[in-house]
Structure 1
Amino acid sequence: METFESLVRAEFTPKNVYLNTASNGLLPARTVAALDRAVRMRAEGTPLGPLYEDVEAVRASFARLAGVPVERVATGASVAEYGGLIAASLPAGAEVLTAEADFASLVNPFHMRGDLKVRAVPLERLAESVRQGTTLVAVSAAQSADGRIADLPAVRAAAEAHGARTYVDASQSVGWLPLEAGEHDFVAAVGFKWLLGPHGAAFCVVPEDFGGLTPLLAGWVAGEAPWDSCYGPVQELAHSARRFDISPSLFSHAGLRASLELIEELGVPAIQAHDLALADRFREGLTALGHDPLPAPGSAIVSVPGLGHRQPDLSAAGIEVSNRAGNLRAAFHLYNTPTDVDRLLAVLSS
């Protein structure tokens, strides 16, 4: 029987200490093989039916990870496009409550409307800031800049108490933090970070009644019978969230299918335990070196003020991290080891 460690070792052979999953996840070997097969199909003129099957397999896999029926999952290319659909559904003057300095792809579509009241508050005050007249609360489950985790149950309860909807960006959490997408109205996420897929695939979970969204981006794939919807207006939109699909990036979904199979095989709880053990090891080591990371308990992302300038030196030493607003950001995922943590600490101490 294969163990967590043996499965990971069979899939990943990084040539450096890679601690930058919050930017891009590494591709498993099975994903690289799936991408190679997909490219060869295009090169050889093989019928592409299996690649469209990959899209549906990916949708079903994400639905299982999100804990929702597959009929609630749409697949597209970016979080911003789904934020745009949600923003377009709101009435003029509606208040959208966000966390300060949340990721642009989440918040920017609401600012672009021009006639919405977008209010930003500190993340820790988000739930208490929901008020009568708030229409939507939009927040990342884990903050990109520093890994802080939103108190989603409190946000949801406050939103329900005031008749507001909730929109969660799970891009920095799904894959290592259990997701209960059914507890929210809208949940979006990309597939190229903690889900370890190629760029070009994203997801959106919508309510069973579609939450008032209009499928403004609908093309032929949004039809109930897509291959019968290629010409002229789509006569019958899909009866599921697939009406919010955009034409899929077939290579991306071919690779992502393999990546999600690995995530499911390992299990999110096991990945979470692995990731957090490494993040906590790094936090403890930082304290010993006299550095205080930004508080983000229970997060796989660790951000250290004042050390962002070390990113080029670390990269030259074979350690990949991020510089975010002057902070050094390290993100720990399933292919990382205690040795990686110790190597990072050793270089930082020099």
Structure 2
Amino acid sequence: MDGYFPGTQSGPMDTTETFDSLVRAEFSPRTSYLNTASNGLLPARAVTALHEAALMRAEGRPLLPLHENVETCRAAYARLAGVPADRVAAGASVAAHTGLLALSLPPGAEVLTAEDDFTSVLNPFHVRGDLKVRTVPLERLAESVRPGTALVAVSAVQSADGRLADLPALREAARAHGARTYVDFSQAAGWLPVDAAQYDFTATVAYKFLLGPHGAAFLTVPEDFGGLTPVLAGWVAGEEPWDSCYGPVAELAHSARRFDLTHALFTYAGLRSSLELLEELGISAVHDHAVRLADRFRAGLATLGHEPLPAPGSATVSVPGLGVRQPELSRAGIEVADRAGNLRASFHLYNTETDVDRLLTALEA
């Protein structure tokens, strides 16, 4: 297909053809799949790894290699996020990670959040019942940090509409007022270059743009752990996990692994392969490809008289009022999402110009 990938690439790939051939070898969707913001597609190598992991269980083979996958994934995500591996905890969900932060705050602490952000970033602070949760529009988040704000929590990319938070401005405002920062990279990591080292805490799930199976999430913490207490710690959180199976854990891990939750071993088997693929391709190359397709969709919408919600630079495009068309599009083999009444299309490395044009043609009908 002409124009399948951008003409210039950055990252490990030497040529467009290499990027092209690698992606084609890994993905063969039967639909125009434009819904990665809900669930990413699994690359072929991840499917193979999942099958092998299931066979290991079925055949009674030692599972040590599956446990080793967790550490490989931790290191790979650390490289992607720009932090040392000892600052990365392996968990199961953003909500669980948010819960740890919520429990760490003193009664009456102020948490600043963005309107209509994803529930997993918000709800644990609300259910505490004794925190002051203040909510403002996303574009006013940085200017709303004030003396006494303890924590600012926000998604780097908004789930409902793809808007990007102004994270540099937020970081500077938080530092000026002594507030800590918590950023959810679930809609960013895997297509948008991220730098978790710039924030106190970050979290992400692995089943969206990181292309992993469900059941894995990562939390990054400061070197001093930021006052978090590992209240969910089990045996995997011990400095010597296999010596921590009975009775209270005598010695917690000296790294962020003290915040690990029991590992979903099949998930990490598949995720290891997915993260390897992303590293081979390079996040910058994936970013250029995804944003180019999103911009093509935005331009096509304008010719049809539709105006998407403003989200410049995002791989996700949301169009007000068209969410009701999601079922008919799905029947036509075009997978998008209906989010808050918006038709949400999200673009990733396996999408093509043909996918974009097919969606535009369907919307024109």
Q: Where on the TM-score scale, by shorter chain, does this alignment land: which range? A: over 0.9
Looking at structure 2, the residues matched to 103 and 50 of structure 1 have their Cα atoms a distance apart, in angstroms, of 35
Looking at structure 1, the residues matched to 280 and 107 of structure 2 have their Cα atoms a distance apart, in angstroms, of 45
Partner SS for 1:251: helix
Report whether the alignment pairs 1:265 with 2:280. Answer: yes
Looking at structure 1, the residues matched to 332 and 251 of structure 2 have their Cα atoms a distance apart, in angstroms, of 57
Q: Deviations over 1:34-57 (max 9, x none)?
A: 000000000000000000010000
Report whether the alignment pairs 1:333 with 2:348. Answer: yes
Query: Residue type matched to 1:140 in 2?
Result: S
Partner SS for 1:75: strand
Looking at structure 1, the residues matched to 96 and 177 of structure 2 have their Cα atoms a distance apart, in angstroms, of 27
User: What is the 5 A alignment of 1:48-87?
Assistant: 48-87=63-102
Partner SS for 1:199: coil
Report whether the alignment pairs 1:17 with 2:32. Answer: yes
Match of 2:254 in 1: 239
Partner SS for 1:315: helix
Report whether the alignment pairs 1:113 with 2:128. Answer: yes
Gaps of 5+ in 2: 1-13
Q: Deviations over 1:160-186 (max 9, x none)?
A: 000000000000000000110000000
Looking at structure 1, the residues matched to 232 and 324 of structure 2 have their Cα atoms a distance apart, in angstroms, of 41
Match of 2:152 in 1: 137
Partner SS for 1:196: coil
Match of 2:3 in 1: none
Report whether the alignment pairs 1:274 with 2:293. Answer: no
Looking at structure 2, the residues matched to 249 and 40 of structure 1 have their Cα atoms a distance apart, in angstroms, of 16
Cα RMSD of the aligned pairs, angstroms, is 0.6
Match of 1:300 in 2: 315
Which of 295, 298, 317 is the matching residue for 2:332? 317
Query: Residue type matched to 2:152 in 1?
Result: V
Looking at structure 1, the residues matched to 124 and 268 of structure 2 have their Cα atoms a distance apart, in angstroms, of 25
Looking at structure 2, the residues matched to 346 and 330 of structure 1 have their Cα atoms a distance apart, in angstroms, of 14
Looking at structure 2, the residues matched to 269 and 262 of structure 1 have their Cα atoms a distance apart, in angstroms, of 13
Q: Deviations over 1:233-272 (max 9, x none)?
A: 0000000000000110000000000000001000000000
Looking at structure 2, the residues matched to 261 and 37 of structure 1 have their Cα atoms a distance apart, in angstroms, of 17
Match of 1:170 in 2: 185
Partner SS for 2:141: helix
Report whether the alignment pairs 1:92 with 2:107. Answer: yes
Match of 1:198 in 2: 213
Match of 2:9 in 1: none
Looking at structure 1, the residues matched to 22 and 276 of structure 2 have their Cα atoms a distance apart, in angstroms, of 12
Query: Residue type matched to 2:154 in 1?
Result: V
Identity of aligned residues (%): 74
Partner SS for 1:91: coil
Counting matched residue pairs gives: 350
Gaps of 5+ in 1: none
TM superposition outliers: structure 1 runs of 4+ over 2 Å: none
Deviation at 1:102, TM superposition (A): 0.1
Looking at structure 1, the residues matched to 161 and 61 of structure 2 have their Cα atoms a distance apart, in angstroms, of 45
Report whether the alignment pairs 1:287 with 2:302. Answer: yes
Looking at structure 2, the residues matched to 340 and 171 of structure 1 have their Cα atoms a distance apart, in angstroms, of 23
Looking at structure 1, the residues matched to 340 and 115 of structure 2 have their Cα atoms a distance apart, in angstroms, of 14
User: What is the 5 A alignment of 1:19-34?
Assistant: 19-34=34-49
Looking at structure 1, the residues matched to 64 and 36 of structure 2 have their Cα atoms a distance apart, in angstroms, of 32
Looking at structure 1, the residues matched to 221 and 268 of structure 2 have their Cα atoms a distance apart, in angstroms, of 20
Deviation at 1:325, TM superposition (A): 1.3
Looking at structure 2, the residues matched to 119 and 194 of structure 1 have their Cα atoms a distance apart, in angstroms, of 29
Match of 1:46 in 2: 61
Query: Residue type matched to 1:91 in 2?
Result: P
Looking at structure 2, the residues matched to 321 and 42 of structure 1 have their Cα atoms a distance apart, in angstroms, of 35
Deviation at 1:141, TM superposition (A): 0.2
Q: Deviations over 1:273-313 (max 9, x none)?
A: 00000000000000000000000000000000010011011
Looking at structure 1, the residues matched to 357 and 263 of structure 2 have their Cα atoms a distance apart, in angstroms, of 41
Partner SS for 1:3: helix
Partner SS for 1:341: helix
Deviation at 1:188, TM superposition (A): 0.1
Q: Deviations over 1:7-33 (max 9, x none)?
A: 000000000100000000000000000
Looking at structure 2, the residues matched to 147 and 239 of structure 1 have their Cα atoms a distance apart, in angstroms, of 37
Match of 1:349 in 2: 364
Q: Deviations over 1:183-224 (max 9, x none)?
A: 000000000000000000000000000000000000000000
